[in-house]
Structure 1
């Protein structure tokens, strides 16, 4: 399934026409039609708007991994918004990299961080 297919799924789930969806996103109906036909790609700005407006998981929208919708606290949403609007090139690169992670990648990262924390604790205990 392409990102255009996922956008169409979001729109249909919201029981919206292309015209209604386009108006909410601040674009034309033809722009939505081109995305759904996979003629055009979803812009980064539209991706952010879709996720915010429809509570869509940005990873699912970009990659199809995980669930379409996610439950988040307001704090989590504010943190994500802050991260998305940072001017740090490094932070933006890291966020894009994490967005492409598979479940296995996240499990590998979790193991690495856990081992690192254990190693740091051992060093602290020796001092």
Structure 2
């Protein structure tokens, strides 16, 4: 996938029109379209604006390596908010349960999770 195609993938994954995407990074709709279609090259300023405005990982956008978006605490909080506002009671209850745990319970859970990870890595079949 080319850098231009990755830009289109970012825009589509965010559900933005060419116009709205361009507006947020200071480009006209036609300029975004030309970039996405590979007719115009992407400037370093465009890349930085996309990464800054949409939380896109610079390495992913420039090389294709890694994940599309940078994980930030704000992203995490937003995801929790969406879960708590949604209809999935199991997910909501899991968060509520975690809030009720004592510090000792959290440490025990952390130990259990680390043991499970270690076990899985040790017994991983290649």
TM-score, normalised relative to structure 1: 0.55
Instruction: Answer with 1 or 2: which has the greater Rg.
Output: 2
User: In the TM superposition, what whole-angstrom CA distance separates every residue of 1:3-34 from its partner, at most 9, and x where no partner exists?
Assistant: 11100011011110001111111111111001
CA distance in 1, matches of 2:26, 2:64: 24
Q: CA deviation at 1:58?
A: 0.2
The aligned residue for residue 33 of structure 1 is 33
Correspondence for 2:70: 70
> Alignment RMSD, CA only?
1.5
TM-score using structure 2 length: 0.55
Aligned to 1:13: 13
Give the Cα separation in 2 of the matches to 1:9 and 1:24. Answer: 16
The aligned length equals: 74
Q: Give unpaired runs (5+ residues) of structure 1.
A: 75-127
**Cα distance in 1 for residues equivalent to 2:16 and 2:73:** 26
Identify the residue that residue 59 of structure 2 maps to in structure 1: 59
Post-superposition shift, 1:72?
4.3
Runs of 4+ in 1 over 6 A off after TM superposition: none
